[in-house]
Each structure stands twice: as C-alpha cells, then as structure tokens.
Amino acid sequence: MSENRDPHVTKFVYDFTEGNKDLKDLLGGKGANLAEMTNLGLPVPPGFTITTEACRTYLDSGEEPAALRDEVSAHLDALETTMGKKLGQADDPLLVSVRSGAKFSMPGMMDTVLNIGLSDKSVQGLARQAGDERFAWDSYRRLIQMFGKTVLGVDGELFEDALEAAKAAKKVTVDTELEAADLEKLVTKFKKIVRTEAGRDFPQDPREQMDLAVKAVFDSWNGDRAKLYRRQERIPHDLGTAVNVCSMVFGNLGPDSGTGVAFTRDPASGQQGVYGDYLQNAQGEDVVAGIRNTVPLAELESIDKKSYDQLMQIMETLENHYKDLCDIEFTIERGQLWMLQTRVGKRTAGAAFRIATQLVDQGLIDEAEALTRVNGAQLAQLMFPRFDDEYARGGEGVEQVGRGIAASPGAAVGKAVFDSYTAVKWSRSGEKVILIRRETNPDDLDGMIAAEGILTSRGGKTSHAAVVARGMGKTCVCGAEELEVDTKRRRMTVPGGHVVEEGDVVSIDGSSGKVYLGEVPVVPSPVVEYFEGRMHPGADDADELVEAVHRMMAFADRKRRLRVRANADNAEDALRARRFGAQGIGLCRTEHMFLGDRRELVERLILADTEVEREESLKALLPLQKRDFVELFEAMDGLPVTIRLLDPPLHEFLPDITELSVRVALAESRQEPHENELRLLQAVHRLHEQNPMLGLRGVRLGLVIPGLFTMQVRAIAEAAAERRAAKCDPRAEIMIPLVGTVQELEIVREEADRVIAEVERTTGTRLKLAIGTMIELPRAALTAGQIAEAAEFFSFGTNDLTQTVWGFSRDDVEASFFTAYLEKGIFGVSPFETIDKDGVGSLVAAAAKAGRATRPDLKLGVCGEHGGDPESVHFFHEAGLDYVSCSPFRIPVARLEAGRAAVTSLGSDHR
Ligand code: PEP
Ligand code: MG
C-alpha cells in the first residue's frame, strides 16, 4: 500500500490509532505494528509515534522540525486525557517509555528509555498508587540509570558498579533482594553520578525528560554501532528511526503481574501450538537478563486463566490478520493483559518451508505469496549435511583448531591426507579422507573427487579449491591461515603447536569454516535425498519438510521466467543436474577434459615444433573429445548444451616450474639429462606469464594455436551428428571465451562455420549448431552491440567480469584484503559471491540491452558463480536474461529464487 499523505501538511506525530502496518517507512516496524494492533482493537497501551521524517529533518539540520514540539504537546495532551493523568503528575504520574523503532529491525543498536515521568516528587505518588514503595524506587533508579547512560552519555559501568556495591553492602546477590530503602539510597547515589559525570542534574521536569530522550533516540541512529550494523546489513543510512512514546505498563507489580514472549507457531518446526515463555512479577528486561527462570507459556493457563485465554484469542487474530507466524511481547499488569509488540517472527529454514505451505493450505496466502516466505539461502541450508550442533560445541575427543573461509557448505569427516595420490589410494580402500593442501590446482582434481572434503590454508571463495568444490557439491574450507600445512612432510601444525599427521581424523564445516580435530557426527539431508530421487514426497518415509520443499519447488517452477541450467563438464554431473531440475548445460568447461591421462597429449600439442607433430596430437585428442561430447549430449538429450572452447592459460597443463627445474637440474647433475623434460622446461619458461589471467588464454589461444579450436568444433559437430544419426536430439551451442572485440569472434567463427559445414556435408546431417560468446571483459560488454553481430548468444562470465571491472585478482584478493573491506563495510559481501549491481551489474544490463538492440533474438545467460547466488538471480531476472547457469547442487536454489524473483520486485521488504 502506498503511503498517501497530504503533501502540503507534514505530519510528524501519529497516534497509535492513526497508523497501520503498511506505514513502516514512516512509523518504523514497531510503530506501524503497534498502530495495527490498536486498530484491531487489541489491548495496546495508548501512545504515539514520532515519524522517521522528523528524525531525518533533525539529522539533516541538527534541529528538530519547528512544528514538532507543538504536535508532541497535542498528542501528549490527548494521551493524558485518555489515561486520566498527567505525565509525571506528583500524586499519580503517567509514565511513558521512549523507544526507537526503525523500518528494519536493528536489534539492540539504538536506544530506549523506560519510566519517563518519574521524579523526586512523583516517585512518592507512584509508590502510593501502586501500594508498593520498593517498586516505585526501583522504577526510579532504572530511569536514572537508563537516562544517564543513553541520554546524558554517562558511562553505564558506573551505575552497574554502584548497584553491585549496594548488593555487596547488603550481602545479597540479586537486585530483587534490595529493599525500598536500599533503592532510595541508590537513587541518591545515581543522581550524584549523573551530576559529576554529565555536569548537570538529572532533570526533574518530565517533559524535559521526554524531549531529551526523543532527541537521544534520534541521535542513536548515527551511533557507531548502528552505522556499522547498517553497512553490514545493507540498510540505507538515510532512513532514520521513528520514536514510540508509549504509556508504561508494569509486569513487576506482584504475582498477578508478569511479562512474556509468545509465537503463534513453533519457530523451530512450524507446528501450530502454544509456544513462548512467561515470567511472573517481572519486566521485559528481567527476562533478557535471565534473573529468574521463565516458565513455558502453557503454564500461564494455571496462573491466570483469563489472561491466557485472551492471549490465545489475540494470537489467533494476529495470525489470521498478518497471515504469518507472529512473535509477540506482552505484559500482564495486575491481571490486565497488554500487547507491547508484535511482528512477523523469525524462524528456522525448515519451519519457513513448512509454514509457507501450511498457510497456503489454510487458504490464508496464495502460491506467489508463499514464495516470498522462503528463500534460497534457507533451501541451501536444508540441502547440506550438518554437524550435530550439540556435539560440535564440545563433544568428547573433538576440538576446534581453526577457522577458514566457508567456501562450500556441508559437513565432512575423514582422515587427513596431504596429496591427491594418497587421497585416491585410501578412498579406493574404503577410507573417508579430507584432502588438506596449502592450495589446490588442476592436478589435485582426482584427490578432490576422492575426498569427502577439502581444506586449504590459502585462497578465497573463488580459489581453485572453492570453485571446484562448490561445483562438485563437496564441502570445502579454504584460507584457514592459522593452520600450517606441510605437504612434503604430510602434516599440519595447528595453533598451539599440535601436529596433525596423515591419517588423523579431522572434521570440517563448510558452512561455518570451522575445522575440528576428531570426529563430529554428521546429520544427512532428507532434502537432497528427495532431489536425488531417492525419497519421494508422499512416500511413507518422506517427512513433512520434504513434502513442503517439493510443493514450494513446484510453485517456483510455475512462476519463474528465468530458465536454470547447470555448469557441468561430464555426464555424471549432467545427469545429477537434470535430476535437480536443470534445463540444459550453460557451461561445459572443456579444460577439465584435458586432464588425467590426456595431459600427455596436451603436453605434446604444446611442445609440437612442427605442423605435423601438432596435427598428430590434435588428431589423437579428437576422438576423445568427441566421446566426451557424445556422453554429454546423451545425458542432456533434448536440452541445450553450451560447450566452451578451451579457456585457461596453457601453463596450467604443464608441470610446476619449480618442481620441473629441480627435476631437470638433478638429472643434469647426475649427467642423465632427460630430453623431453628439458623441452618441457623450455616450454614452461616460454609460456610463463606474470599475469596469466590477463595473458594467453581464451579466444587468444584459438587464434595463436592453429587447429586447437577447430579440433574442438569438429569434435562437437561430429558428436552431434552421431547423436542425430541415433535419432536423438543433441542441442549443442559453441561458446568462445574471453572475447574482447568482434574481430576475434569473427575469425574464430569463420573457421568454425567452415568445419561445421564440412561435417554436415560428410555426414549428410543438418546440425543447427549455435555459436556465441562469453561476455567477461569490460570491452566486450562495452561493445556488446558490435559483438552481437557475430554471436547468437551471450553468456556473461561474471567471475572474470568482476575480476576485470574491479581490477581484483579472483585468486588472491579474498584471502588478502577482503576481510578488511568486509569489516570496514566497503561491501557487505564479496562481489565474487553476489553481483555488484552498481558496477558489474550495470555493465551486464547495458550489454544485454545493446546486444538485443543488434539482434532481438539474442539468447542471454550467465554462467559465472553468481548464477547460483540468490540475490544475483533476482538481478539477472530484472536485467531480462533468459537463464542462469550454476553448479548442479545450486540448481534448486536458483529455481526457487527465479520463482521468487518473478513474484517479488527488487528491493522488497523481505529481509
Ligand atoms: C567466468 O569468468 O565467469 C566464467 C564462468 O569462466 P571461468 O570461471 O571458467 O573463468
Ligand atoms: Mg571466465
């Protein structure tokens, strides 16, 4: 609902009867919901809200708006009339609370002052009215303490120390044991602290107390803690906070009073029922302070049946009204129930899915609304096996020894191994292993496949280990710098000096980055069993959660416009991706097909001195590549398969320069020079680059190594022809990486077209192969209109595009200065994880538009890591792309988020 207000009159104060829940921008979350409850006829202590607009004016100009004082006076008058007493009235004071309340909840970040209106005089009146002197003096000392600290800036510890001293003098341990006289003395002491520290007396005028408290709440918007919190949570700095002035009710007036919290459903399971806690004879802050143990809410029924029944009825009203789980704070003052707060409550990931479908079944919400009640991060959380929390916190024989970057979620336990060879050998004999390296490289692939999880002491979220592990859905912790990994001696030293030897059991948590010594028990995910087709919704053993996930996925699939493809390089991944709902392959990285026993052929290609030698090695590679593609087309029959021609710098296929130099030097010293190794070393030197990511890679390889790309294109075309001959439906798309200008693409394209035409001629098959390019360099994005002339599709390579737009090395920065950037709030999340909308994102959107201007039917996708990131998926939806492509395990998340993107707009309130 829009916030329609008369533009000529700025109204800065709203009575609770005047607002509603849709005015959160203006009244903040708390104020809007208090108003909503008031209008529902629920028992809310009367009060009013000063708007965020008043706060913004104050923060901008340093002065409160001129009209504010009179408006507050008018609302205070009305409140006093309603309550039948005046603020701070000596014989029967009206007391109020002054609470902050921004649009988005910022727990504990801003200020609150309770019991405003108490003074040396009115404390006596309160004591008489309440018939409880202790209560009155306790309320007064709380006011001076809170006011002193938050409004007058007195160090809170001074009050705490004085309170401790009073308890010590009386030889008691809890403040409830202090009597009226003790508290009266404490009030004198507190006032003295205020005078000394603030250089002024604690104000006795209740209106002055209120005005100063309001100003302090405004100021707290710009406190250091609040600013940092906003940067991290990406809450805009210019929203300001509203201030709620609410008549006080007391839960600490005896056994017929109390305070509690309640949920309309179990926030852990989603189950409907009576959930919450109650504390008799106490105020809200006593619950937080844990002075006494609360009792389960159900016990309120026997303590105060009338209030309990009323509360149950209110909870039902709230759920039906908000159409969601609500959490509630309430107080009972001498048998009278008061609602102090409500809001749509937080819940666990599992509960979110269950509640959303329950509400659909109850007819309270529709499918589209249900999709806004869950998110991809929650689904991801449900998909990974977890460590048993209780145990990880300190099970027998388990010790946390380090923490790295949570690179690929999940929980893995196994024996420590320090090289791929051992990982493969041990896993073949049935051992579960964790591969521990300083960092990984393509040579480690076998070991990574064999391992349960991967742990590295270097590298960030886009390091080789992280990207490959995520691709495999394998747990990975990387950049755990406090661990000293010594691969030569096959050991790792943890802080404190303990040495982990090969074979010792370690556990790693890819969701938190924690590393443990010993075995932490793992809880498997029923949701993955479901996606894998091993558990069926509706089956006897399927739980409610699986049922709920199944239904939510169906909702998402019905609503989404974006298609979802997989980044997959082999048939096994492709088949899994299909089970998980992939609608094709968006990126097959062919370099992964050049490893293992093919490496030798690639080496021969790189070392070839003559055309004949080169052609021979290409000829040997051709049938192998063709077989790879046939398998992929088979797995993805009827769906598009985008195959990227070779991309990485060639040195990645050659031995490490240092190791090779040592080998050659040793052989020479033994006077047994090895001809091939010498040639290899020369090639390694020749191909060595200072900045390989900006060097000879991508389309540049195709342009300088004759025959390489044409061999790959031929393999694709022949594989497609073979599948056609078998009456199947291969849908290959050939993708050229790292193009910076249309000329590069035109040259490669011309050759590719020639090869395809030749295969079509010789096989007598019409192949209809699409040729397109990756957009992963700023120049490509800036000249997208030209590039589209030679491309039938664009796939945005947002990993490289982020790297080149920011000038951040994707292999280095996350482990070096990103932590500092995150701490300083320069970004809330790495731009390699979530698309940087303003920079990289705007380039993507502009390139998409320019490309389509040239070629209206240009197909647009994204295949960088961002393709599986929830927030980024929303961005790509808005930018009008056709599909996102991500690793198989992230496909369900991308499907769900694509559905959510279709039913919510960017920047919605669903935080
Ligand atoms: C990219 O750069 O976004 C991409 C998908 O390619 P790669 O990660 O293989 O460089
Ligand atoms: Mg790339």
What's the CA gap between 614 and 610, in Å, rounded? Answer: 6
Q: Best substitution site from 592, 799, 872 to test ligand 1's pocket, by max atoms within 8 Å of Cβ?
A: 799
What is the model's pLDDT at position 879? Answer: 97
Q: Which atom of ligand 1 is nearest to the CA of 776?
A: 2
Q: Best substitution site from 736, 776, 881 to test ligand 1's pocket, by max atoms within 8 Å of Cβ?
A: 776
What's the CA gap between 342 and 36, in Å, rounded? Answer: 9
Q: How far is the CA of 797 from the centre of ligand 1 (A)?
A: 5
CATH code of 560-649+689-903, in short, is 3.20.20.60
Query: 842 vs 109, 778, 801, 803, 845, CA distance in Å?
Result: 33, 11, 12, 15, 5
Taking phi first (over 0 means left), then psi (-120 to 50 degrees means alpha), and beta for anything else, what does residue 293 get?
Answer: beta
Q: How far is the CA of 798 from the centre of ligand 1 (A)?
A: 7
Ligand nearest, relative to CA of residue 844: 1
In tens, the pLDDT along 553-583 reads 999 999 999 999 999 999 999 999 999 999 9
The two structure tokens encoding residue 136: 């009155």
What is the model's pLDDT at position 283? Answer: 81
Ligand nearest, relative to CA of residue 467: 1
Element (H, E) at 858: none
Q: How far is the CA of 863 from the centre of ligand 2 (A)?
A: 9
Residue nearest to atom 8 of ligand 1 (CA): 799
For the beta carbon of residue 614, count every other beta carbon within 10 angstroms: 19
Q: Which atom of ligand 1 is nearest to the CA of 589?
A: 9
The two structure tokens encoding residue 816: 């070096």
What is the model's pLDDT at position 541? Answer: 63
Confidence band of 109 (pLDDT split at 50, 70, 90): low
Q: What 3-state class would DSSP assign to 526?
A: helix
DSSP assigned state of 890 = G
Residue type, 735: M
What is the model's pLDDT at position 462? Answer: 60
The two structure tokens encoding residue 468: 């490959």
What is the model's pLDDT at position 396? Answer: 75
Element (H, E) at 529: helix 526-531
Segment 740-755 shows an average pLDDT of 98
Pairing of strands 258-265, 326-333: antiparallel
The two structure tokens encoding residue 371: 């999709």
Pairing of strands 386-387, 522-523: antiparallel
Q: What 3-state class would DSSP assign to 52?
A: helix
What's the CA gap between 507 and 520, in Å, rounded? Answer: 6
Q: Quote the strand ranges of 325-431, DSSP E.
A: 326-333, 336-344, 386-387, 399-403, 405-408, 411-417
Residue nearest to atom 3 of ligand 1 (CA): 797
Q: What is the DSSP string of 864-910?
A: SGGGG-HHHHHHHHHTT-SEEEE-GGGHHHHHHHHHHHHHS-TT-S-
Q: Which segment, 340-349, 536-545, 646-655, 752-761, is predicted with the most confidence on average?
A: 752-761
What's the CA gap between 870 and 113, in Å, rounded? Answer: 39
Pairing of strands 241-247, 47-50: antiparallel
The two structure tokens encoding residue 77: 């008058």
Q: Which atom of ligand 1 is nearest to the CA of 567?
A: 5
Beta bridge partners of 387: 522
Longest dimension (CA), the chain: 107
CB 331 within 8 A of CB 259: yes
Q: How far is the CA of 364 from the centre of ligand 1 (A)?
A: 44
CB 304 within 8 A of CB 259: no
pLDDT beyond 50 at 659: yes
Helix axis angle, 180-198 to 156-170, nearest 10° = 150
What is the model's pLDDT at position 684? Answer: 86
Segment 534-546 shows an average pLDDT of 81
In tens, the pLDDT along 843-883 reads 999 999 999 999 999 999 999 999 999 999 999 999 999 99
Element (H, E) at 240: none
Residue type, 742: V
Confidence band of 497 (pLDDT split at 50, 70, 90): very high
Q: What is the DSSP string of 142-161?
A: HHHHHIIIIIT---HHHHHH
Q: What is the DSSP string of 322-337?
A: HTS-EEEEEEEETTEE
Task: State the catalytic residue, choosing from 326, 863, 866, 886.
Answer: 863
- Which of 85-99, 107-121, 240-254, 604-618 has the weakest average pLDDT? 107-121
What is the model's pLDDT at position 398? Answer: 82
Confidence band of 98 (pLDDT split at 50, 70, 90): very high
Confidence band of 542 (pLDDT split at 50, 70, 90): low
What's the CA gap between 759 and 629, in Å, rounded? Answer: 15
Q: Which atom of ligand 1 is nearest to the CA of 866?
A: 3
What is the model's pLDDT at position 740? Answer: 98
What's the CA gap between 213 and 206, in Å, rounded? Answer: 11
pLDDT beyond 90 at 397: no
- Which of 225-239, 272-286, 494-508 has the weakest average pLDDT? 225-239
Known catalytic membership, residue 464: yes
Segment 383-394 shows an average pLDDT of 77
Q: Which atom of ligand 1 is nearest to the CA of 737?
A: 6
Q: Best substitution site from 593, 863, 884 to test ligand 1's pocket, by max atoms within 8 Å of Cβ?
A: 863
Known catalytic membership, residue 674: no
What's the CA gap between 799 and 787, in Å, rounded? Answer: 20
Q: Best substitution site from 774, 803, 810 to test ligand 1's pocket, by max atoms within 8 Å of Cβ?
A: 774
Segment 274-288 shows an average pLDDT of 79
Q: What 3-state class would DSSP assign to 771?
A: strand
Tell me the average pLDDT of the chain.
Answer: 91
Half-sphere exposure at residue 429, Cβ-oriented, CA atoms within 13 angstroms: 6
Q: Which atom of ligand 1 is nearest to the CA of 462?
A: 8
What is the chain's length? 911
Q: Which atom of ligand 1 is nearest to the CA of 795?
A: 5
Residue nearest to atom 9 of ligand 1 (CA): 589
Q: How far is the CA of 862 from the centre of ligand 1 (A)?
A: 10
What is the model's pLDDT at position 269? Answer: 77
What is the model's pLDDT at position 660? Answer: 85
Confidence band of 911 (pLDDT split at 50, 70, 90): very low
Burial code of 235-263, b = ≥16 C-beta within 10 A, e = fewer? Answer: beeebbbbbbbbbbbbbbbbeebbbbbbb
Q: How far is the CA of 798 from the centre of ligand 2 (A)?
A: 7
Confidence band of 906 (pLDDT split at 50, 70, 90): very low
Q: What angle do CA 320, 324, 329 make, to 5 degrees?
A: 90
What's the CA gap between 804 and 797, in Å, rounded? Answer: 11
What is the model's pLDDT at position 815? Answer: 72
Topology of domain 258-347, per CATH?
Answer: D-amino Acid Aminotransferase; Chain A, domain 1 (3.30.470)
What's the CA gap between 196 and 349, in Å, rounded? Answer: 51
- Ligand 1 neighbours (beta carbon < 6 A): 587, 589, 647, 776, 797-800, 863-864
Give the CATH H-level superfamily of domain 384-523.
Phosphohistidine domain (3.50.30.10)
Q: What percent of the chain has pLDDT over 90?
A: 71
900, 896, 884, 895: which is closest to 835 by C-alpha? 884
Residue nearest to atom 4 of ligand 1 (CA): 797
What is the model's pLDDT at position 132? Answer: 93
What's the CA gap between 439 and 485, in Å, rounded? Answer: 10
CATH code of 13-247, in short, is 3.30.1490.20
Pairing of strands 241-247, 96-102: antiparallel
Q: How far is the CA of 732 from the centre of ligand 2 (A)?
A: 20
Ligand nearest, relative to CA of residue 468: 1
Confidence band of 909 (pLDDT split at 50, 70, 90): very low
Helix axis angle, 870-878 to 376-383, nearest 10° = 140
Confidence band of 82 (pLDDT split at 50, 70, 90): very high
Better-predicted residue by pLDDT, 471 or 342: 342
Q: How far is the CA of 577 from the centre of ligand 1 (A)?
A: 19
Taking phi first (over 0 means left), then psi (-120 to 50 degrees means alpha), and beta for anything else, what does residue 331 get?
Answer: beta
CA 603 to chain CA centroid, nearest Å: 42
pLDDT beyond 50 at 217: yes
What's the CA gap between 763 and 755, in Å, rounded? Answer: 12
Q: How far is the CA of 861 from the centre of ligand 2 (A)?
A: 14
pLDDT beyond 60 at 2: no
Half-sphere exposure at residue 296, Cβ-oriented, CA atoms within 13 angstroms: 6
What's the CA gap between 214 and 242, in Å, rounded? Answer: 9
In tens, the pLDDT along 767-784 reads 999 999 999 999 999 999
The two structure tokens encoding residue 787: 């590039």
Q: What 3-state class would DSSP assign to 406?
A: strand
What is the model's pLDDT at position 258? Answer: 95
Ligand nearest, relative to CA of residue 799: 1
Residue nearest to atom 10 of ligand 1 (CA): 800
Query: 635 vs 223, 331, 576, 577, 722, CA distance in Å?
Result: 57, 62, 9, 10, 14
Pairing of strands 514-517, 399-403: antiparallel
For the beta carbon of residue 664, count every other beta carbon within 10 angstroms: 18
Domain ranges of the chain: 13-247, 258-347, 384-523, 560-649+689-903
Task: State the catalytic residue, choosing from 55, 246, 464, 877.
Answer: 464
